[in-house]
């Protein structure tokens, strides 16, 4: 929000009050004007800093989302090019690529079987009994406020009941203000329980007179996603007619792998976490897609596209859309999966990872925001299927179905399902569909759902692919208008995007973005908000910031705090690319003086990081010492490194590489750790790293990895506790004060196999 | 002499090209659609963050220069760049030095108390010069007013703001 000072001249002679005016000397007038002029410039500079800070956070966030696409590409690449050279490697690949089958009903019963779970006598947390009463739900909120944890048995019980309820709901929920006089709509919460508690405190608990709609993205990023889900589901069961949920793009087990929800569940529920995740995967698919208030106000998580078809959305089987990141498909090049039993071909069939789409329906590599000269991508968001229509295809499918038959026979016979000697055991979604699987979504259906969960509004007319997020589209005011007219609606409420004030109107107030996670990027970064609708459907916005500290800060102080956090992230990223940066800097320093101009610095940094940030604006905060417009780049890079490293033993280049790929590594770990045990073997780690680094052209030797592993001191039995590794990693990145470097190391070491908690030194 | 003139021209070119990049960066921060336009209401912020300190009147004149003939509410980069480059090359709308600012406060405090009361500050800022909006006034008060004395000790205030600004 920029300052818009009104230009008001003092009244001329003869107008009321002008008598008084003449007695004030002109000097005072000029002095005031000068102060105002100075002050407006000061504020403008703060505004600029605030916008830059926002851009930093956003670009890092979206770059992370793009990474997800890159990760998919990496595994696609593996699938197409990697030939296992030994049984060992083949087995390993199989473990990674074995289809995580969508649970059948019978299996689901097994997964959500909570009755067999015993609650120990010394359990002091909240207990649930069904059917739930309003008091139970309120008590649950209170228990969570006091930092208690709900036992896995009750979690699964609640999820079981939730699923039963959700299955009966239509895709588009209808709400009427005739029954409940007011409807409160909340946006993204992202695991921030404090905000939910605050909303209930300020607005009141749900009741038959107080309807609520929660518009998706309940989980990921924040630390209390589980508790938020429990509260939301509990109230939904207690007030089924008044409490409504929409699915967001984060209600998706694939997205959760990357953005923290999976990790949170496994951390809080070590024994039963896997069951909980599996059940949740199902529950998420049953969440309704949108809510309609009085047939006039449409509430959905992301947005719309020029192809959005509410009738189609109302009719499709939403349960088929397991993840919006990937769409299973039966057909490849129009051919149906065959059931014939043929002899396996001699060539090794390419296994397809369960987390990859069969056809490459992911969008092409996202274009960088603001890439000059590069034309914006067109409306199409798929790249053509690149499956070769060669002879291997039918044979491969046949082979898979043979394997599956064998598999089924083994299971029926009660034998362990294990791969035959040297033969990979492969299950594929294609083969699954031959069982009692629900039919898969069509391309059209899938795209409709992706559009409403991922799209963002833009100010210009039109509709184009949302290349920043990698899914959905950008939709303009004309698209909104078209949709509202087609379905006789008044306006849209959506979420999906963080806004500094917690809300934002656009498209001539026809679209309202509502975002309920305050301080989303950092304490002080933004307010949260919710919107209330009465029978007149006039939106009434309430803002808040769930952190006392921010209230007493001035604008300047708030901006400084958030800015510092953004710059820290940015410096981390810069450090992660030190080698590349050095290379670029050298290019600008042909005479090898060791110096480059600040302008060259900005160019070099952008060409390496490709974040589309205004580097010249940010330069004063990132480059501390510079004399006469030049920079001694080596010492600048060294200073960066000093900030990040506190541990002499770890090679800086290795650390740098790991930093660069940290989120990818974490996601890869979680994919490898298919049983969610939290452990992968050192061997698997090495294998994966080898594959990954060769694909990414990263030069790391085996020994380096081993040294690193050892220096972070894993339990010596050859297993890596993923969480320990990553936590230790995070400990290293925090700069230790001088002289405490060795203490830091002590804190991360596990002496008797016990895990040390981070931050306990 | 001609070679000196030539040299000056080339230096100007280099400087101008540096300015171009700076202006582009600042502009892009507000170019949300990445289509080389910004909302006209953000132009003030952009110009000021590039080191200029125009009055509101001067700002309005500048906007008139870069607006379309039929104002669309958006400013295009192609129009903005040459005008802004000239502004920077001519060093127009220079920032106000600290001591000048101090003297301005002292004009408003003729009895040289060293402070202005909250009421006085509000009166001057909202009734004189190019008056503040209510929002601007509240923001300034939140940082400037010492809650105990309900006044602004302008010398300290200036010192604090200047440090923050660099």
Confidence at residue A623, expressed as pLDDT on a 0 to 100 scale? 87
- The alpha carbon of residue B2 is apart from the nearest alpha carbon of chain A, in Å, by 28
Note which residues in 339-398 of chain A have CB less than 8 A from chain B.
369-371, 376
- The alpha carbon of residue B80 is apart from the nearest alpha carbon of chain A, in Å, by 17
Contact B108 A45 (CB under 8 A): no
The answer to whether residues A513 and A319 touch, using CB atoms and an 8 Å cutoff, is: no
Contact B46 A48 (CB under 8 A): yes
- The alpha carbon of residue A54 is apart from the nearest alpha carbon of chain B, in Å, by 10
Question: Which residue(s) pair with A541 in the sheet?
Answer: A531
* Mean pLDDT of all residues belonging to chain A: 71
Closest listed residue to residue A517, CA positions, set A288, A83, A55, A195: A195
Residues 6+ apart with CB under 8 A from A106: none
Q: DSSP assignment of A340-406, as one string?
A: ---PPPSSPPPP--TTS-SS--SPPPPPPTT-TTPPPP-S---PPP-----THHHHHHHHHHHHHHH
* Mean pLDDT of all residues belonging to chain B: 88
- Chain A residues in contact with B132 (beta carbon < 8 A): 5, 36
| Residue showing tokens 């184009």 | A464
| Residue showing tokens 């609650």 | A119
Q: Is the pLDDT of residue A600 over 70?
A: yes
Q: How confident is the model at residue A655 (pLDDT cuts 50, 70, 90)?
A: low
CA–CA dist A391, A387 (Å, integer):
12
Q: Look at residue A288 and give its three-state secondary structure.
A: coil
**Nearest CB neighbour to A40, from listed B26, B41, B48:** B48
Q: Is the pLDDT of residue A547 over 90?
A: no
Q: DSSP assignment of A732-759, as one string?
A: HHSPPPTT-HHHHHHHH--SSSPPPPTT
Confidence at residue A478, expressed as pLDDT on a 0 to 100 scale? 96
Task: Compute CA A34 distance to the chain's CA centroid, rounded to the nearest angstrom.
Answer: 47
Task: Compute CA B115 distance to the chain's CA centroid, rounded to the nearest angstrom.
Answer: 25
Residue of B nearest to A475 (CA): B33
Question: Which residue(s) pair with B152 in the sheet?
Answer: B116
Indicate the burial class of B147 (C-beta count within 10 angstroms; 0-12, 13-18, 19 or more). Answer: exposed
The answer to whether residues A420 and A299 touch, using CB atoms and an 8 Å cutoff, is: no
- Chain B residues in contact with A2 (beta carbon < 8 A): 41-42, 44-45
Cα torsion A174, A180, A186, A189 to 10°: value is -90
Closest listed residue to residue A474, CA positions, set B33, B7, B123: B33
Q: Look at residue A721 and give its three-state secondary structure.
A: strand
Q: What are phi and psi of A163, to 5 degrees?
A: -60, -45
Residue of A nearest to B135 (CA): A3
CA distances from A460 to A417, A470, A480, A761, B76 (A): 56, 20, 11, 53, 14
| Best residue in A1, A10, A20, A33 for a mutation probing chain B (most B CBs within 10 Å) | A33
The answer to whether residues A258 and A667 touch, using CB atoms and an 8 Å cutoff, is: yes
B76 touches chain A (CB under 8 A): no
Which helix (H) or strand (E) is A623 found in, with range?
A: none
- The alpha carbon of residue B120 is apart from the nearest alpha carbon of chain A, in Å, by 11
A672 touches chain B (CB under 8 A): no
Residue of B nearest to A556 (CA): B143
Indicate the burial class of A167 (C-beta count within 10 angstroms; 0-12, 13-18, 19 or more). Answer: exposed
Q: Determine which one of A72, A151, A244, A250 is catalytic.
A: A250
Confidence at residue A568, expressed as pLDDT on a 0 to 100 scale? 80
Note which residues in 88-147 of chain B have CB less than 8 A from chain A.
95-96, 100-101, 103-105, 107-108, 124-125, 127-133, 135-136, 139-140, 142-143
Closest listed residue to residue A616, CA positions, set B44, B12, B20, B96: B20
Q: How confident is the model at residue A630 (pLDDT cuts 50, 70, 90)?
A: confident
A707 touches chain B (CB under 8 A): no
Confidence at residue A179, expressed as pLDDT on a 0 to 100 scale? 74
Q: How confident is the model at residue A322 (pLDDT cuts 50, 70, 90)?
A: confident
Q: Which of A481-485, A555-559, A576-580, A594-598 has the highest mean pLDDT?
A: A481-485
Residue of A nearest to B96 (CA): A38
SS3 of A654-703: HHHHHHHCHHHHHHHHHHHCCCCCCEEEHHHHHHHHHHHHHHCCCCCCHH
Contact B105 A555 (CB under 8 A): no
The model scores a pTM over 0.80: no
**Nearest CB neighbour to A28, from listed B107, B139, B140:** B107
A217 Rama class: left (phi>0) / alpha (psi -120 to 50) / beta: left
Q: Which two tokens stand for residue A222?
A: 């924040």
Contact A52 B29 (CB under 8 A): yes
Residues 6+ apart with CB under 8 A from A334: none
CA–CA dist B101, A74 (Å, integer):
59
Q: What are phi and psi of A186, to 5 degrees?
A: -115, 150
Confidence at residue A474, expressed as pLDDT on a 0 to 100 scale? 92
- For chains A and B, CB pairs below 8 A equal 157
Confidence at residue B126, expressed as pLDDT on a 0 to 100 scale? 93
pLDDT in tens, chain B (166 residues): 567 777 777 777 777 888 898 899 899 888 877 788 999 999 999 999 998 999 999 999 999 999 988 888 899 999 999 999 999 989 899 988 889 999 999 999 989 999 999 999 999 999 989 999 998 998 899 888 888 888 999 998 988 887 665 5
Task: Compute CA A135 distance to the chain's CA centroid, rounded to the nearest angstrom.
Answer: 33
* Low-confidence winner among A214-218, A260-264, A390-394, B87-91 (lowest mean pLDDT): A390-394
**pLDDT per position as a tens digit, A108-162:** 555 557 788 888 888 889 999 889 999 999 999 999 999 999 999 999 999 999 9
CA–CA dist A323, A253 (Å, integer):
7
Q: Is the pLDDT of residue A644 over 80?
A: no
Q: Which of A1-10, A93-102, A163-172, A629-638 has the highest mean pLDDT?
A: A163-172
The answer to whether residues A140 and A128 touch, using CB atoms and an 8 Å cutoff, is: yes
Active site (annotated) includes residue A319: no
- Chain A residues in contact with B33 (beta carbon < 8 A): 458-460
Q: Which two tokens stand for residue A669?
A: 């770990």
CA–CA dist A75, A353 (Å, integer):
8
**Neighbour count for residue A16 (Cβ, 10 Å):** 7
């Amino acid at each position: 929000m920029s300052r818009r000072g009104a230009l008001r001249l003092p009244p001329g002679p003869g107008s009321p009050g002008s008598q008084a005016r003449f007695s004030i000397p002109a000097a005072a007038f000029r002095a005031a004007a000068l102060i105002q002029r100075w002050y407006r410039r000061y504020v403008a500079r703060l505004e600029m800093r605030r916008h830059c800070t926002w851009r930093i956070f956003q670009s890092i966030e979206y770059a992370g989302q793009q990474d997800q696409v890159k990760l998919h590409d990496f595994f696609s690449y593996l699938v197409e090019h990697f030939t296992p050279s030994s049984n060992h490697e083949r087995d390993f690949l199989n473990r990674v690529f074995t289809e995580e089958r969508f649970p059948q009903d019978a299996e689901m019963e097994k997964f959500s079987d909570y009755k067999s779970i015993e609650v120990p006598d010394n359990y002091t947390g909240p207990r649930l009994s069904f059917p739930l009463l309003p008091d139970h739900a309120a008590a649950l909120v209170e228990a969570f406020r006091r930092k208690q944890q709900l036992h896995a048995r009750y979690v699964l019980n609640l999820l079981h009941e939730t699923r039963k309820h959700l299955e009966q709901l239509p895709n588009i929920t209808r709400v009427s203000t005739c029954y409940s006089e007011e409807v409160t709509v909340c946006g993204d919460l992202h695991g921030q329980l404090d905000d939910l508690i605050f909303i209930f405190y300020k607005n009141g608990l749900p009741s038959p007179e107080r309807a609520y709609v929660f518009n998706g993205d309940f989980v990921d990023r924040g630390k209390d996603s589980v508790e938020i889900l429990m509260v939301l589901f509990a109230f939904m069961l207690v007030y089924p007619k008044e409490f409504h949920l929409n699915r967001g793009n984060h209600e998706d087990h694939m997205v959760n792998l990357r953005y923290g929800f999976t990790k949170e569940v496994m951390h809080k529920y070590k024994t039963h976490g896997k069951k909980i995740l599996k059940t949740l995967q199902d529950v998420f698919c049953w969440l309704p897609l949108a809510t309609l208030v009085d047939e006039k106000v449409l509430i959905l998580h992301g947005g719309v596209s020029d192809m959005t078809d509410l009738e189609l959305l109302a009719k499709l089987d939403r349960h088929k859309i397991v993840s919006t990141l990937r769409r299973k498909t039966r057909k490849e090049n129009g051919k149906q999966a065959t059931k014939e039993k043929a002899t396996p071909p001699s060539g090794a069939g390419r296994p397809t990872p369960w987390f990859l789409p069969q056809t490459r329906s992911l969008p092409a590599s996202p274009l960088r925001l603001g890439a000059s000269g590069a034309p914006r991508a067109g409306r199409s968001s798929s790249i053509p299927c690149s499956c070769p229509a060669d002879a291997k295809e039918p044979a491969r499918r046949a082979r898979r179905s043979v394997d599956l038959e064998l598999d089924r026979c083994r299971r029926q016979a009660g034998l362990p399902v294990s791969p035959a000697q040297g033969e990979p055991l492969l299950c594929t979604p294609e083969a699954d569909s031959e069982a009692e699987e629900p039919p898969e979504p069509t391309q059209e259906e899938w795209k409709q759902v992706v559009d409403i969960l991922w799209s963002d509004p833009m100010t210009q007319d039109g509709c184009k692919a949302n290349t920043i997020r990698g899914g959905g589209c950008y939709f303009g005011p004309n698209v909104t208008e078209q949709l509202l007219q087609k379905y006789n609606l008044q306006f849209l409420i959506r979420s999906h995007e963080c806004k500094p004030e917690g809300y934002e109107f656009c498209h001539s107030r026809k679209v309202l973005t509502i975002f309920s996670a305050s301080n989303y990027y950092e304490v002080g970064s933004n307010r949260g908000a919710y919107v209330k609708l009465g029978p007149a459907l006039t939106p009434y916005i309430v803002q808040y910031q769930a952190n006392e500290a921010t209230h007493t800060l001035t604008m300047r102080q708030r901006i400084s705090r958030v800015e510092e956090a953004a710059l820290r992230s940015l410096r981390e990223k810069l450090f992660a690319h030190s080698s590349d940066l050095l290379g670029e800097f050298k290019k600008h320093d042909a005479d090898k003086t060791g110096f480059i101009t600040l302008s060259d610095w900005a160019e070099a940094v952008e060409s390496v990081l490709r974040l589309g940030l205004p580097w010249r604006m940010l330069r004063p905060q990132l480059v501390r010492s510079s004399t006469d417009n030049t920079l001694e780049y080596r010492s600048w890079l060294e200073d960066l490194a000093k900030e990040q490293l506190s541990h002499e033993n770890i090679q800086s280049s290795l650390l740098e590489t790991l930093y660069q790929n940290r989120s990818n590594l974490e996601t890869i770990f979680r994919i490898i750790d298919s049983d969610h045990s939290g452990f992968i073997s050192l061997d698997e780690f090495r294998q994966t790293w080898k594959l990954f680094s060769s694909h990414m052209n990263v030069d790391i030797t085996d020994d380096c990895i081993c040294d690193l592993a050892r220096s972070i001191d894993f339990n010596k039995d050859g297993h890596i506790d993923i969480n320990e590794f990553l936590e230790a990693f995070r400990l290293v990145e925090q700069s230790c004060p001088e002289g405490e470097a060795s203490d830091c190391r002590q804190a991360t070491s596990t002496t008797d196999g016990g895990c040390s908690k981070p931050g306990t030194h | 002499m001609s070679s000196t003139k030539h040299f000056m021209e080339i230096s100007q070119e280099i400087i101008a090209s540096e300015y171009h990049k700076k202006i582009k960066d600042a502009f892009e921060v507000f170019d949300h659609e990445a289509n080389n336009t910004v909302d006209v209401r953000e132009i003030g912020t952009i110009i000021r963050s590039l080191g200029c300190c125009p009055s509101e009147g001067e700002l309005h004149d500048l906007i008139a220069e870069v607006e379309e003939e039929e104002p669309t509410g958006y400013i295009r980069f192609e129009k903005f760049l040459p005008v802004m480059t000239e502004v920077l090359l001519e060093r127009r709308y220079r920032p106000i030095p600290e001591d000048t600012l101090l003297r301005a406060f002292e004009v408003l405090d003729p009895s040289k108390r060293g402070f202005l009361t909250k009421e006085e500050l509000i009166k001057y800022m909202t009734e004189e010069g190019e008056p503040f909006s209510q929002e601007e006034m509240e923001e300034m008060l939140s940082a400037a007013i010492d809650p105990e004395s309900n006044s602004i000790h302008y010398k300290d205030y200036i010192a604090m703001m200047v440090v923050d600004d660099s």
